[in-house]
A and B are shown apart, each in its own frame.
Chain A
């Protein structure tokens, strides 16, 4: 079994790679021979921005380029080698995510077959293989998030901080993970220079976790609590990740001035698109467009997202992958703009939590999939009638977006109810912390 297992992962990765290569080649054919392109419009934006950068111009001269200059830099070979270079990079990142999922689960001693099924949930997901092969850059972000998890699991706090600063610069939304990461960098669980003890899959099923940790916390006085809040691990993580973020921001501001700041950062923070999308807020934004919103109205739209994020963090931070997953689903569902590419942000985290879920495929699993996909298809139907048939179905489309939000909330509630809480780290005993025990 042990000798055969690596071959199965290898076969899975090779098969996925060949399939993605075939899709990229098919995409080239479709782009050349059919009016409707296979390639995402965003990929053409990245490529044009890369060409501009290659000639010494600002990538922001390309309208609708709203990403870090790092992305244009990565795609420089599009102009020199082949226009599909970027698609190969994104698909390779997609395969890397599959490998990282396997590595994370293996490190937590998840059974081999469960590891492979979890990897398949990512590699065989139609969203996943189309997004990279069509030229969307999200797989790179997913790979970085999982690598940060791997670094934390191996006690490499500084490396995790560097990658975290970089990923927040690249895509902003991972800022929502800052608080749970800081919370989990508790010196009782993880210390600088030492590999932390992980709660593995088998052990969690049979022993109560965190009880001793919770008892220990009641013995802490205020001084100890304050000291641990500003522990060197947390301070270092904050300083290094913040330093990397501001270094990147400062460098690109120096190169590209306000164009960079407006397009790559401020646009995403203030974006309120009146055009139809999955968000419940789209019709409200369209009807209110051009009108100055009062402070109360702005706060009301901000509150649901904030409340949900804070509650999820305070409840699930210790189970870091599960916390990341729930936070990402909630962040996407309550956002003012939702496009299909955002779903990949939590699809890459779903395989990390499945081994700890009591959800059975029949019928809870299929029910969740059916509810979520059904709500999406329902929205897409009205969206099609509006955009491609020119019918005024704004009200129906908006109601479909309400149903989609409720479906997301319901699926989250089911996941929460059926998830076995599993903190990622075990508490270090005082004597163990001195000897630096590496694993459980």
Chain B
């Protein structure tokens, strides 16, 4: 009986251990991608499930498909809910190889027709070649409440220089929290900070490589009542391009090709001089008297 009891105890402990390990694994997996579980998972996840490499044209095609499939119109012919992107300002904050890309977004929303509580902002940042986002750093920020959800897709190798790496993209979900009502419209302001890191750039005689950021894709995703229950839908805010200030350029220091020969020769010469210092010290070492 004692042996049976011991076996049962070991069996129960085994189940408990496995339960804890599974929970830990689930937490680890989810935390990297955060809340990307609506809209057929993230839009970028759909993209990278069909494409290996990020290109702007194929991404735009996919985005159009997603928008037509998940439109917020209740019936064909219904007008899209009116959302206007009234301002977008982008800045690169910091110096050196580790900076923050700050995006300040202003949206105008008609409050009566818009269920803000069930909506969130989706920003897709297609990063240029030459910079990357660290998924583990973003996971840390996600757990500190910086985002409602975040995912990094594409080439997330943290170590390769840009000549050996492909582009990556970040999808960020943010809740709408603050609004200022003025008459029939609500003004929403959201600021998103995305920490980025520079890859080692291709060689250039000027000593600097310029990386230009494009305009992010901004969408609003909402849950709405459909014919078969709650469903998610997407809205693209209309915007006036003149009011969007999106030129951001990052100058990254890079190696200079004309240094190559001198660097190679002097490097190996120094290595050999150091070798000679150690060899002579060893050869001239006074052995035991």
Contacts and interface: CB of A to CB of B under 8 A. Distances in A.
Given A283-B267, A287-B263, A413 B281 contact: yes
B96 interface: yes
A226 interface: no
Interface in A40-77: 41, 44, 48, 51-52, 54-57, 63-64
Interface in B156-212: 156-159, 161, 163-164, 200, 203, 207-208
Given A275-B159, A410-B277, 4 more contacts: A52-B28, A79-B20, A304-B274, A386-B253
Size band of the interface chain B makes with A: 35 or more
Given A289-B161, A390-B253, A395-B259, A315 B282 contact: yes
B164 A290 contact: yes
Nearest to A48: B28
B266 interface: yes
A63 B285 contact: no
Contact of A283 (B21, B24, B255, B283): B255
Interface in A277-312: 280-281, 283-284, 286-290, 300-301, 303-304, 307-308, 311-312
B129 to A, nearest CB: 15
B98 interface: yes
23 contacts: A41-B136, A51-B24, A54-B21, A55-B22, A56-B21, A63-B156, A63-B158, A80-B21, A80-B24, A208-B289, A274-B200, A284-B264, A287-B260, A300-B268, A303-B275, A304-B272, A304-B274, A388-B96, A389-B96, A393-B253, A398-B263, A406-B270, A412-B278
B254 interface: yes
A284 B267 CA distance: 7
Interface in B113-128: none
A409 B285 CA distance: 15
B274 to A, nearest CB: 4
Interface string A60-101: 000110000000000000011000000000000000000000
Contact of A311 (B97, B98, B254, B278): B278
Given A57-B25, A311-B279, A273 B203 contact: no
Nearest to A408: B274
A389 B94 CA distance: 9
A286 B200 contact: yes
A282 to B, nearest CB: 9
Q: Is the interface of A mostly helix, strand, loop or mixed?
A: helix
10 closest cross-chain pairs (CB), A and B: A55-B25, A392-B253, A409-B274, A413-B281, A392-B207, A388-B96, A54-B21, A79-B24, A304-B271, A409-B277
A386 B255 CA distance: 11
B287 interface: yes
Q: Residue among B156, B263, B279 with the most chain A CB within 10 A?
A: B263
B48 interface: no
A228 to B, nearest CB: 21
Interface centre among A51, A209, A274, A304 (most CB of B within 10 A): A304
Nearest to A316: B282
Nearest to B266: A402
A388 B98 contact: yes
Contact of B159 (A64, A79, A80, A386): A64
Contacts of A426: none
B282 A416 contact: yes
B134 to A, nearest CB: 9
B44 interface: no
A416 B266 CA distance: 26
A90 B287 CA distance: 39
A125 interface: no
Interface of A: 41, 44, 48, 51-52, 54-57, 63-64, 79-80, 208-211, 273-275, 280-281, 283-284, 286-290, 300-301, 303-304, 307-308, 311-312, 315-316, 330, 333-334, 386-395, 398, 402, 405-406, 408-410, 412-413, 416-417, 421
A413 B278 contact: yes
B263 A284 contact: yes
Which of B207, B251, B275, B288 counts the most chain A CB atoms within 10 A?
Answer: B288
B67 interface: no
B256 interface: yes
B273 interface: yes
Contacts of B133: none
A390 B96 contact: yes
Contact of B288 (A208, A287, A412): A208
Nearest to A393: B253
A56 B22 CA distance: 9
B11 interface: no
Contacts of B283: 311, 315
B24 A54 contact: yes
Given A208-B288, A211-B288, A289 B163 contact: yes
A394 B256 contact: yes
B25 A52 contact: yes
A301 B161 contact: no
Nearest to B163: A290
A35 to B, nearest CB: 9
A287 B260 CA distance: 6
B207 to A, nearest CB: 4
Given A275-B200, A307-B279, A394-B256, A283 B263 contact: yes
Task: Output the residue of B163, B270, B287 with the most chain A CB within 10 A.
Answer: B270
B36 interface: no
Contacts of B233: none
Contact of A287 (B96, B97, B253, B259): B259
B287 to A, nearest CB: 6
Contact of B253 (A209, A273, A394): A394
A209 to B, nearest CB: 5
B257 interface: yes
A310 B287 CA distance: 17
A394 B255 contact: yes
Contacts of A392: 207-208, 253-254, 256
Given A289-B163, A398-B263, A388 B95 contact: yes
